[in-house]
Structure 1
Amino acid sequence: MGAAIGQFLPIAVGVLISPLPVVAVVLMLVSGKAKANALAFLLAWFVSVAAIVTVVAILVGGAAGDAASRPAWVAWVKIALGALLLLLAGSQWRGRPRQGATPETPKWMTVIDAFTPVKAAGLAFVLGAVNPKNLLLVVSGGAAISAAAQGTSTRLVAALVFAVIATLGVTAPFVIYLAMGTRAHTILDALKTWMIQHNAIIMTVLLLIISAKMIGDGVSAL
């Protein structure tokens, strides 16, 4: 278990500090159905991440066998994932807002005040399981678990730990809201503004770091 956590921890932290899901929770917390929408988002986010990382960890791990007989394609999968993350990092960097420019606001941010808990859960699924940036990170986490953990039960537990860590980022604004109530609006609004403004740079750095890790792990396993 310790080896698996060591392998996936940087990736889980990458999911944890992804800006857009955190911004989504902040926007929900300043809307009319703050608690219901935010809680629905958190639960759906956790389930989405846990489901994907578990499926990848078990399928890849089961196909690859134990560490002694693991085929070369497992290493190549890691290298391929690292290369995709590297390409995504380049795309993020090229699309960053120039100095003094205001980042384009995603359409869902403008209508989030009218969300119901069902729509909030749907947004969590889209951001957690459909969004290419997050999907690649979570799949990379599953691949890391499959390579480091032996046995289905160990991989299941490791996948749940990954999902818990990956959910801490979207949980933090909710905890601040519960602790401070309406007084938290100023803090949350400042957090939202900063993360929107620096989303591209944050994601570029995260993707570069995790890309280097995945490629390095793959090369060392060949």
Structure 2
Amino acid sequence: MLEILGELLPIAVGVLVSPVPNIGAILIAGSRRGAVKAPAYAVGWFVGVLILTLVLSLVGIGAGGTPIFVHWLNVILGLVLFWLARKEYLNRDRKELPPWMEAVDDLKSYQAGLAGLTLATIANPKSLPLSAAAGVVVAEARLGFTGTIVACAVFAAVGSLGMVLVAVLRFTSAGSAALGRLKEWLAENGPAITIPLFLVLGTLIITNSLEAIRGP
């Protein structure tokens, strides 16, 4: 289990440092009733990442071996990471945020939770390939049903640490000030973090998958 968690950690870091969802958490925490909406957003994000990871990881349970299509899917996911790295590079000077983030003051608590869930699943193209890649790692490990749930939950928890930290900071005056500075830092340095991370993860995922396809 520890070996698998070690493989999942760098992928979880990719989820953790995704700039737009973290900026969304900061904006929500700083909005009206942010002390309530920020935890809801974090829970929605965690649930979304957990669902994505579980769906693909459970595909391989119960079979005699990992299906070959899972390895090919991982190759595709690696290529998607390369594409995202290129997209991040081309858009590195843009500082625009999604439209919904400009109206976070009007969000209700359940809407904040749905926003986190949506960004973790369908609205953020960076989350899907990373969560799916983690699911493939878990599926190949053949951990069984309970072990799969534990591994996916740990992965989702690590990927949600940024949201949890933002929610905690909201309850302190110093933390509230720090959230404003953190928002500016993420907007300025997000691409510098995600571009090399996506390139490294894409290379590792594709290499490992092609080795599994070729066989011993």
Q: Which residue of 2 aligns with 1:109?
A: 101
Q: 1:76, CA displacement in angstroms?
A: 1.9
Asked if the contact 2:9–2:155 (Cα under 8 Å) also holds between the matched residues in 1, the reply is yes
1:140 is the counterpart of 2:136: no
Q: RMSD of the alignment, in Å?
A: 1.7
Asked if the contact 1:4–1:149 (Cα under 8 Å) also holds between the matched residues in 2, the reply is no
Q: Which residue of 2 aligns with 1:62?
A: 61
1:85 is the counterpart of 2:76: no
- Secondary structure of 1:31's aligned partner: coil
Asked if the contact 2:45–2:117 (Cα under 8 Å) also holds between the matched residues in 1, the reply is yes
Q: 1:71, CA displacement in angstroms?
A: 4.3
State the one-letter code of the partner of 1:83. L
Q: 1:193, CA displacement in angstroms?
A: 0.7
State the one-letter code of the partner of 2:103. V
Task: Structure 1 unaligned segments of length 5 or more: list them.
Answer: none
C-alpha distance in 2 between matches for 1:80 and 1:110: 34
Question: Sequence identity of aligned pairs in percent?
Answer: 30
Asked if the contact 1:140–1:214 (Cα under 8 Å) also holds between the matched residues in 2, the reply is yes
C-alpha distance in 2 between matches for 1:148 and 1:19: 30
1:126 is the counterpart of 2:125: no
Task: Structure 2 unaligned segments of length 5 or more: list them.
Answer: none
* Structure-2 change in CA distance of 1:111 and 1:30 (3 Å): same
Q: 1:192, CA displacement in angstroms?
A: 0.4
Give the one of 201, 206, 210 matched to 2:197.
Answer: 206
* Structure-2 change in CA distance of 1:105 and 1:72 (3 Å): closer
- Secondary structure of 1:70's aligned partner: coil
* Structure-2 change in CA distance of 1:47 and 1:71 (3 Å): closer
State the one-letter code of the partner of 2:130. L
Q: Which residue of 2 aligns with 1:155?
A: 148
**What CA deviation, in whole Å up to 9, does each residue of 1:45-69 have, x standing for no partner?**
111111111111101x137x34xx4
C-alpha distance in 2 between matches for 1:116 and 1:211: 37
- Secondary structure of 1:132's aligned partner: coil
C-alpha distance in 2 between matches for 1:72 and 1:33: 49
C-alpha distance in 2 between matches for 1:23 and 1:129: 17
C-alpha distance in 1 between matches for 2:192 and 2:10: 17
Q: TM-score, with normalisation over the residues of structure 2?
A: 0.91
Asked if the contact 2:66–2:139 (Cα under 8 Å) also holds between the matched residues in 1, the reply is no
